[in-house]
Structure 1
């Protein structure tokens, strides 16, 4: 089997979708060595495209109120449009000459190639909650989602919650949609004591802290954490400060203002985008991972934190609750008093979440990329009408 696997999301600093695509591709290559899974665009095109598509990992505070001139905006938009058109043309040419059996698009909108298509859709937030996204993205997605789904022979989603949404809102029949829980990489595991010391020194962190990981955007509900933390007495804020690890995203003016005007002065630390290699120690050093999202398609940080031996406190969003089960403390996303109480109890009692801390690693160990590769490979064969091969046994996660 020859599969064309689009790796365009890997050209930018990796967030959730890019991590999932990279890990799934690696598991497919490792698990099915007699097949070909060609990761487009290849090494040299990746370097060239990376220069075009590169975006800053964080937005400097000083630049928040500066806007480029109209001509500069138009020029940047034109260059981007030309680059994307060139990328699409090159991708389609590669699909024609590569003798591929199937094309997998891990970022929901496939190119037109004439090949059988498998599409991954992680969430429907742009369709269901357009108010959380930039207007130009909403406009582009209004047609892109429908067009992408129409081209797909099969759709893979991250959770049963999204599988139900795809059937309900996009009209897909159940046999065209498969739910596949994402995996957790072996690097996410309890860390040696020295790793915590090193990560705190690198990022200027205190001995104790609670942690949020992810891009700051409206659906992540970070404003709730900021308000809850700011409401705490000074002694509790000082005992266990809140750390935000992630760049500023779109439509976050209210969160930026709250951070600058109050939260920063009350002890909230914003360390911006964190390199992949720092995440395991950052998770492991936290008293708790806080994840108050209004909506998710999966929600990777809570499971990664659990794998590192850290307790997770999450919202009750459908997909998040599906993923964490009973292995995390869950609170309604709109419950300010509930989030404030948890922050207070964590600050006062380091053992408050110890039961969740003990249960987390075993639960996280059930999320493997080998399992994801088996599900995905089964979808490929179903789309191509091929008989299923014997299952490849799952490899155990690395021991702590």
Structure 2
């Protein structure tokens, strides 16, 4: 069996989907045995896409007609590379683990895709207009191309079944995993790694892109309302790039939050994350919606405490040991932040048993479950089957 994986999401600065692609590819290749795992793009197309990915935070949400014209040859070459891979003889699977296939051409091979979440469909207000338009243009056609789908949580799987009218046997849940190196570290090592960042011995931590669905404005305002004695001892450290439509959060950060104990580190190298997680008093994660939510599970792997929202898959993955609060409950969030900083016993109780919660989430298991589906698709010769679509003119979202 030969598998060709689209690795576009792994190029440039990585968020959750990028890490998913990198780690899944790594483990697929380790477990493939006699099977062949290839990826595209390669060569100058890959280097060009990496450059574009690094610039994306500055460009997202802006008009990009000129960019689209300039990248036309790159897109054509990307399609050519994919089709060239697929012309090889033998059993093969086309894997799009970050975006549904939208090419008008038929790959004539079993095609799979991972639906990480449905936020563009269910909450278009959280995304730039060009992304929403691209989704509206290509999503249904991409769905038609797919033989099978993956979801990264049971919450996400049930959303796809419910809103897209997909039969349950056509979508498999494969949980994301913990990256290598995320484990409890000695205090001396944490202090040494974090010294160049000029951070105090302990702090509250947020990890993720700063964008509307992450609910950061609520978090900043709530944190800034805490007594100054708490804020001076435990600053709130934000790790992540400014995303689309973060202007209101950025304005509040500049005018108020940075003067009240909030530190924005921006995007940090993966090598720093284990120490950042280990040094935190607790992770605070107030997201409005998550298809999985990696940071809560990652800090649990390091033995850390989690205060998170009830939104999306967070309750499914981390909820058994995290303290969960409704995302819009500002009084609840203020009480939880105050308590996690003042009450050492409660903070220790939040850390108790967290590593056992994180332990089942491994990239090896994700790859094993994914390979099982690949092999099943080839063995059953299902490459001509397609997913059922709603009737023409009817929306993808299910009624009610």
TM-score by length of 2: 0.89
Q: 1:47 and 1:354 mapped to 2: Cα distance?
A: 46
**C-alpha distance in structure 2 between counterparts of 1:98 and 1:47, whole Å:** 28
* Alpha-carbon distance between aligned partners in 2 of 1:158 and 1:328, rounded to the nearest angstrom: 20
Q: Which residue pairs with 1:214 in the alignment?
A: 208
Q: Does the aligned pair in 1 maintain the 2:45–2:77 contact within 8 Å?
A: no
1:91 aligns with 2:112: no
Query: 1:196-235, aligned counterparts within 5 Å?
Result: 196-235=190-229
Shift of 1:251: 1.0
Range with greater deviation from structure 2 (73-82 or 333-342)? 73-82
- Residues 287 and 350 of structure 1 are in contact (CA less than 8 Å); yes or no, is this contact kept in structure 2? no
For the 8 Å contact 1:307–1:360, the answer to whether it is kept is yes
Q: Return the offset for 1:88.
A: 2.4
The structure-2 alpha-carbon separation of the partners of 1:54 and 1:160, relative to structure 1 and needing over 3 Å to count, comes to closer
Cα distance in 1 for residues equivalent to 2:244 and 2:49: 23
CA RMSD of aligned residues (A): 2.2
1:55 equivalent in structure 2: 54
**Deviation of 1:364 (Å):** 0.6
Cα distance change of structure 1 residues 57 and 169 upon mapping to structure 2, 3 Å threshold: closer
SS in 2 for 1:271: strand
Which residue in 2 is equivalent to 1:391? none
1:13 and 1:57 in contact (8 A); partners too: no
- In structure 1, C-alpha distance between the alignment counterparts of 2:359 and 2:293, rounded to whole Å: 16
- What's the CA shift string for 1:173-207, capped at 9, x where partnerless? 11101111111123110012222212331212111
Give secondary structure in 2 for the equivalent of 1:145: helix
Distance 1:84 1:313 in 2: 42
State the match for 1:274 in structure 2: 268
Question: Of 323, 329, 348, which aligns to 2:317?
Answer: 323
Bigger Cα displacement from structure 2, 142-151 vs 81-90: 81-90
1:15 — aligned with what? 15
Of 78-87 and 142-151, more deviation after overlay is shown by 78-87
Q: Distance in 2 between matches of 1:184 and 1:299?
A: 12
Per-residue displacement from partner, 1:137-194 (whole Å, max 9, x unpaired)?
1011013221221111000001111111111111111110111111112311001222
Structure 2 counterpart SS, 1:115 = coil
Is structure 2 residue 37 aligned with structure 1 residue 3? no
Match of 1:101 in 2: 92
Distance 1:87 1:93 in 2: 10
Aligned to 2:160: 166
For residues 26 and 279 of structure 2, the distance between their equivalents in structure 1, rounded to whole angstroms, comes to 28
**Is the CA contact (8 Å cut-off) linking 2:282 and 2:306 kept in structure 1?**
yes
Distance 1:47 1:338, change over 3 A: same
Which stretch of the first structure deviates more once superposed, 161-170 or 96-105?
96-105
Task: Decide whether the 8 Å contact of 1:6 with 1:41 is kept in 2.
Answer: yes
Q: State the shift of 1:48 in Å.
A: 4.5
Pair 1:2–1:296, CA change in 2 (3 A): same
Q: CA deviation at 1:318?
A: 3.0
CA contact (8 A) 2:45 2:78 kept: no
Q: Distance in 1 between matches of 2:49 and 2:90?
A: 24
Aligned equivalent of 2:110: 116
1:193 alignment counterpart: 187
Contact 1:200/1:207 (8 A) holds in 2: no
Q: Flag the 1:273–1:57 CA change in 2: closer, same or farther, 3 A.
A: farther
Single out whichever of 3-12 and 104-113 deviates more from structure 2: 104-113
Question: TM-score, normalization: structure 1?
Answer: 0.89
Residues 308 and 322 in structure 2, CA contact (< 8 A), matched pair in contact too: yes
The alpha carbon displacement at 1:74 in A equals: 4.6
> Match of 1:254?
248
Q: Does 1:302 align with 2:296?
A: yes
- The higher relative CO (CA closer than 8 Å, separation ≥ 6) is in 2
- Structure 1 pair 74/164, CA: closer, same or farther in 2 (3 Å)? closer
83-92 or 154-163, which deviates more: 83-92
How far did 1:324 drift? Answer: 0.9
Residue by residue over 1:39-77, the C-alpha shift from the partner in whole angstroms, topping out at 9 and shown as x without a partner, is 2234665334423x2324866xxx99xx99x9xx65334
Task: Say how many residue pairs are matched.
Answer: 378
Q: Deviations over 1:277-328 (max 9, x none)?
A: 1111111110001111100100001000000111111100131101113111
